[in-house]
Structure 1
Amino acid sequence: MRFARPLAGAALTTATVAGLLIGTAPGAAASAPCDATARACVDLSEGTAWLMDRGEVTYGPVRVTAGGQGHRTPVGRFSVTYKDDDHRSRAYDDAPMPHAVFFTRGGVAFHEGDRDSRSHGCVRLSADAAAAFYRALQPGDAVQVHR
């Protein structure tokens, strides 16, 4: 079983389900705009992402940066196509893309990167979040991206 990571400064709420103590950040599950099929959920308008399992948030929300003008991150339903822990971009000057999890045929991925500037369409995460997404997501897992 996975546990939701509380938001910074949020009080931890606990509940007992089938004899297990479960901890979640208040409101975390309600804020993810994706349905129960999503394993990864992105809200571009809020700049946040989550990992999910059967509609329950298991990690997040985490801050993300996505594509800028002319390189918008696509919105819709996708599937993880492949992963590469030490990927380098062929399209953008061999730029490092640590913990890359690709979810479009056009090369859009979750990966570690600078969250203070816009990407060329990828969803950039902190080092810790990129590692968590890389560990949790597998080829075929559903990804939903909303604006």
Structure 2
Amino acid sequence: MRHRTTGSTARTGIPDRARRFGPRGRAGATAALAVLAVTTAAGCRAEVTGSVPADRPSSPRATASDDGGSAPPPSPTTPAPPSPSSSPPSPTATASPTPKPDPQGRTLMSSGSQGGQVRELQARLRQIGHFDRSPTGYYGTVTVAAVQSFQGKRGLSRTGRTDTLTWQKLLDMTRRPTAGELNPPTTRPVAKPDKRCLTGRVLCISKNSRTLSWMIDGRVRSSMDVRFGSQYTPTREGTFSVYWKSRHHVSTIYDTPMPYAMFFSGGQAVHYSADFAARGYNGASHGCVNVRDEGKIASLFDQVKTGDKVVVY
């Protein structure tokens, strides 16, 4: 059986029988209206929530932090920095060890070095008692021992090499050497010249004082330390003359260098000796007159002429 709806029924959706059945009908209608209101309100909330603009974020949620608590998420407008543990290291990336600097610094001079800086080193070491002879300009075993002695006293590694740290400490403890300290005439006092040396141009060589004096007409122009042959290969004594000069000579018997050689008796000559510069009087020649100072013998070589006299006594 069909019922007609009235205007009020159409507006509320309540069946007309609610009016006809009195209070019980009205109570049921009231309950129906309550359900309808809740349903309509829920639908509105969902519709409003879904219509929030994309550039207007909803309320943020708390996120878990590394220590197990909760930490607020980063601001929507500022990207959060990546967690250190979130990006594992690349398997191919390896840390290259950083080389440690040499605590002694860069090497400036070592065994075999020669020149003006070596001469200054020797002169400075001599000022404070570590080098007991005149500078030679050659870095040999004597200089190595002197540098080791200095390094040991200053708490440095006893390498025997002059590095930047050793050199700076030496500069701090010494003064600039004078010309006389850098180029003393000889280690030992020059002997009184033999009378045969008092006239003409003469290489006057004394075995007693171990010195050579270049003399012109009785005046000493320069002097230098020399050493001689051993008892098995003695240096001949007497009056001779220079018969041959060879600037870059090499011994054909011993295959050793004989720079600035000035031959005066057979195979015996006055020449520079790197071994003499390095070892001093701990060694001996094979009969030649060895000169320790290369600078002095080089200058002498340029002055001496073939035919000049040589006196060994």
Scaled to the shorter chain, the TM-score interval is 0.7 to 0.9
Larger radius of gyration: 2
Distance 2:190 2:201 in 1: 13
Whichever residue aligns with residue 109 of structure 1, its letter is A
Instruction: Give 5+ residue unaligned stretches, structure 1.
Output: 1-6, 10-27
Q: Which residue of 1 aligns with 2:287?
A: 121
Check the 8 A contact 1:32/1:57 in 2, yes or no: no
TM-superposed CA distance for 1:135, in Å, is 1.1
- Answer 1 or 2: which has greater helix percent: 2
Q: Which residue of 2 aligns with 1:140?
A: 307
Instruction: Give 5+ residue unaligned stretches, structure 2.
Output: 1-178, 182-188
Asked if 1:84 corresponds to 2:246, the answer is yes
Check 1:69–1:84 CA distance in 2 against 1; reply closer, same or farther (3 A cut).
same
Distance 2:309 2:253 in 1: 25
> Scaled by the length of structure 1, what TM-score is found?
0.74
TM-superposed CA distance for 1:37, in Å, is 3.5
The structure 1 segments of at least 4 consecutive aligned residues displaced by more than 3 Å after TM superposition are none
Query: What is the aligned-residue RMSD (CA, Å)?
Result: 2.0
Distance 1:96 1:50 in 2: 23
The alignment partner of 1:103 has SS state of: strand
Distance 1:145 1:132 in 2: 20
2:256 to 72, 84, 95: 95
TM-superposed CA distance for 1:144, in Å, is 0.4
- Answer 1 or 2: which has greater strand percent: 1
- Counting aligned pairs with the same residue, the percent is 34
Q: Which residue of 2 aligns with 1:3?
A: none
Q: Which residue of 2 aligns with 1:42?
A: 205
Check the 8 A contact 1:66/1:73 in 2, yes or no: yes
Higher relative contact order (CA 8 A, sep 6+): 1
Check 1:129–1:48 CA distance in 2 against 1; reply closer, same or farther (3 A cut).
same
Q: Which residue of 2 aligns with 1:112?
A: 272
Distance 1:30 1:109 in 2: 21
Q: Which residue of 2 aligns with 1:67?
A: 229
Q: Which residue of 1 aligns with 2:192?
A: 31
Q: Which residue of 2 aligns with 1:22?
A: none
Q: Which residue of 1 aligns with 2:215?
A: 52
Number of equivalent positions: 119
Q: Which residue of 1 aligns with 2:120?
A: none
Check the 8 A contact 1:50/1:58 in 2, yes or no: yes
Q: Which residue of 1 aligns with 2:298?
A: 131
The alignment partner of 2:295 has SS state of: helix
Check the 8 A contact 2:190/2:209 in 1, yes or no: no
